[in-house]
A and B are shown apart, each in its own frame.
Chain A
Amino acid sequence: GAVVSQHPSWVICKSGTSVKIECRSLDFQATTMFWYRQFPKQSLMLMATSNEGSKATYEQGVEKDKFLINHASLTLSTLTVTSAHPEDSSFYICSASSGESSYEQYFGPGTRLTVT
């Protein structure tokens, strides 16, 4: 149980284009989803927290107009990187929590974004 999927697993796009990454909880309802970014040999940095049906809460320094997050249902959240630039190339990981006093966040397998 508690499986989280991400799609795509990797993507290459040209500078200036937009990319959408999907995060799905497959066997539970995720009231809260988190989006992280990880640069090579660095740790995971929380970008934003999203609750189903409400606007995402962004961490300091993360541009909400560049990283659009939608959490339209209890099993799906999307992250859209708009007008991507090479410096946005990173490993994007989502996690999901059921919110039922569970202490765990269940992580997706990650999406490797390369902007050329």
Chain B
Amino acid sequence: GQNIDQPTEMTATEGAIVQINCTYQTSGFNGLFWYQQHAGEAPTFLSYNVLDGLEEKGRFSSFLSRSKGYSYLLLKELQMKDSASYLCAVRDGDYKLSFGAGTTVTVRA
């Protein structure tokens, strides 16, 4: 099984940077995903890491260290619309996703 931990809540100011950490313990690893989810909506894909290192995509970047079972999602130049829940998910060898509980990010003006 998978054990995935991420902080429950984070608050930041518009224009700032926020880093959401995710640690995992897994019985099989086949990639780590980050999703954004607004209340009452389905998750939307943000990033995917399967090799160690940093993946950058616009204002969002994601980092993975497989040896440490650690990832982070970096959100730069925060905007009000970035207020949402951010889900860390690990995929196992059967292509099943296990999700963390999510981190609620609140962006303040």
Contacts and interface: CB of A to CB of B under 8 A. Distances in A.
Co-assembled chains A and B: yes
Interface of A: 32, 34, 42-46, 49, 91, 93, 97, 103-105, 107-110, 112
Given A107-B42, A112-B40, A43 B95 contact: no
25 contacts: A34-B96, A34-B97, A42-B101, A43-B99, A43-B100, A43-B101, A44-B43, A44-B87, A44-B97, A45-B99, A46-B97, A46-B98, A91-B40, A93-B43, A103-B48, A103-B91, A104-B45, A105-B97, A107-B42, A107-B43, A107-B44, A108-B42, A109-B41, A109-B42, A110-B41
Nearest to B94: A49
Interface string B91-109: 1001111111110000000
A97 B96 contact: no
The secondary-structure label for the interface of chain B is loop
Contact of A46 (B40, B44, B96, B102): B96
Interface string B6-50: 000000000000000000000000010000000011111100101
Contacts of A112: 40
Interface residues of B, number: 20
Contacts of A109: 41-42
Interface in B48-71: 48, 50
A32 B95 contact: yes
Interface in B67-99: 87, 91, 94-99
